[in-house]
Chains A and B, each alone.
Chain A
Amino acid sequence: MIRFENVTKRYNGTAVIDDVSMVVESGAFVTLVGPSGAGKSTLLRMTNALVRCDGGRILFDDDDVAKVDPVALRRRFGYVIQSTGLFPHWTVARNVATVPKLLGWPRPRIAARVDELLAMVDLPPAEYRDRYPAELSGGQQQRVGVARALAADPHALLMDEPFGALDAVTRAALQDQVARIHKATGKTILLVTHDVDEAVKLGTRIAVMDGGRLVQYAPPAEVLAAPATPFVAALFGGDMASIRLLDVTRVADRAVAAEGLVPAVAIAAEATLEAALARMLAEHVEALAVPGDGPPRVIRLADIVRGGR
């Protein structure tokens, strides 16, 4: 758990982080989103003491990050940055092994861990272990970056615009992978992005920042359906927020008991409303069956359009 208590940071008298308080629960995936200069990267870098607080405090698993040894503290986090920060003079395996080596793990344990992590990020160890970063594509490099961050089994991951430099297809693939890793490991993740869709897609909660202040901290559906300020509403696209909302709402949340005939075309209960709408458009129907245990259920166009009301 990471607890921010009235955290403030000033540069030359100007507050770049202004009285931010929030709690990141264990296992949460929090996306920090906002325009450039909103302070999201600074807040992330304060979490592992790369930047010091001028006011307030940050507690990581009940330790005040200002009061513990910063080197030991940072080794408890996984750290991923936009430009990957891979060490160009080391092989992929040596890069992934960075923190375990600093921690003095025995060699066989490190080798086994490296192979396990490379497999987890879909880089077959036999093929990639001994390559150098310059021989990899941008997407492959960032996969190594993610594997490196996970190497010493950290309590939490800090990711600073990890996918910002990647093309759309590669970015989507890595987002899916990180979402899978989050599900599989249950790690707490704090991810900075200026991409609103990425914030919505990945976050279990979104922290919206503007001018150093935390303006809303809520699950994606709530940020989209009930933006706290006009700024938040505008950031998430005004009316377009309704479209984004389709991506974070499950069919199961809107399905109703079937009356009469069950439609021929079906959609899974755990699919998103976006997928359901796409299926309706593709099949030219206004209702889909939602298979499951118990009485037959359906989702109709009207159930999608009426929203949560």
Chain B
Amino acid sequence: MTALALAPGMSRMARAGIRVILLLAALIALVLLMPATEPFFHWLFPGLQQPVYSRASFLTLTLSHLGLVALSGAIVIAAGMAVAIAVTRPSGAAFAGIVDTITAVGQTFPPVAVLALAVPLLGFGAAPTIVALTAYGILPVIDSTVAGLRSVPPPAIDAARGMGFTRGERLLLVELPLAAPIILAGIRTTLAINIGTATIGSTVGALTLGSPIIEGLSGSNTAYVIQGAIVVALLAVTVDQAFAWLDLVLRRHRG
């Protein structure tokens, strides 16, 4: 972090950007150089035959993990925003209550239980994991999108109507951009939670950073657990900080 100390005059946005780059560099280094940490883990756990997880490379695990989070994230963002937009239109307002209830139930249902229920229907692997992550992650996106759209200043909407925006133009050019920082906060929460939660996918055969954790737990190999957990944590922090930077970018002109 010396780079930050060297540049006291930098804007918050620039500092946040540098923070993301440094985190990303640390993440890539850790993932690629994990085999090189063998002496360290050997010293830490002298009793272990194989102190570094090697069934799959950490690059493969990380990419597969990210793929699951990205796919479920894309579904959650698309579906969640669509639902939120629908219930904030006058014609969809009647459904706001029922949508609230359904998503709240989705949130209270433990992802492990969703996995257990999804496996008989979808088999083992990535599919039940994506279902569980989607069910678990949709609530923050819907909530934040509804809150964001309701936070748009009424004069901006009145001006847009009065100047002859169509409904679509009003939504795309005025409402969504003005709601963006709040919507983004919901997406940030969902992704941070799902990066952690995706690890349980490995219990039903999905390839994730949970694989070394679960194998370490069942085989009493604490080193595996630490390796998996550190990469997951660094991944979650990096994504979270990337969103913190994006938030500053979006808000830079708001008074």
Contacts and interface: CB of A to CB of B under 8 A. Distances in A.
Chain A: number of interface residues, binned into ranges: 20 to 34
7 contacts: A50-B158, A74-B164, A75-B163, A79-B163, A84-B155, A87-B159, A132-B255
B162 A48 contact: yes
A79 B162 contact: yes
A89 interface: yes
A26 to B, nearest CB: 21
A74 B253 contact: no
Interface string A62-96: 00000000111111010101111111110000000
Given A85-B159, A99-B164, A102-B164, 4 more contacts: A71-B164, A81-B159, A85-B158, A89-B254
A87 B254 CA distance: 10
Contacts of B253: 88-89, 132, 134-135
Interface of A: 45, 48, 50, 70-75, 77, 79, 81-89, 98-99, 102, 132-135, 148, 158
A4 B178 CA distance: 37
Contact of A98 (B155, B161, B163, B177): B163
Task: List 9 A-B pairs, minimum CB-CB distance, nearest first.
Answer: A134-B255, A85-B159, A74-B164, A75-B164, A79-B162, A132-B253, A83-B155, A85-B155, A71-B164
Contacts of A132: 253-255
A87 B174 contact: yes
A82 B153 CA distance: 13
Interface in B66-87: none
Contacts of B164: 70-75, 99, 102
A205 B78 CA distance: 53
Contacts of B173: 87
B169 A102 contact: yes
B48 interface: no
A81 B160 CA distance: 11
Contacts of B169: 102
Interface in B204-255: 253-255
Interface in B125-176: 153, 155-156, 158-166, 169, 173-174
A123 to B, nearest CB: 17
A15 B153 CA distance: 29
B178 A89 contact: yes
A93 to B, nearest CB: 13
Contacts of B159: 79, 81, 84-87
Contacts of A102: 163-165, 169
A50 B154 CA distance: 14
Given A88-B156, A102-B169, A134 B163 contact: no
Contacts of B153: 83, 88
A50 to B, nearest CB: 6
Most buried by B among A70, A98, A135: A98
Contacts of B162: 45, 48, 50, 74, 77, 79, 81, 85, 158
A135 B159 CA distance: 20
A102 B163 CA distance: 9
Contact of B177 (A45, A85, A89, A99): A89
Contacts of B160: 85, 87
B111 to A, nearest CB: 36
A131 to B, nearest CB: 9
A8 to B, nearest CB: 22
A134 B156 CA distance: 14
Contacts of A45: 162
Given A79-B159, A81-B158, A81-B159, A88 B254 contact: yes
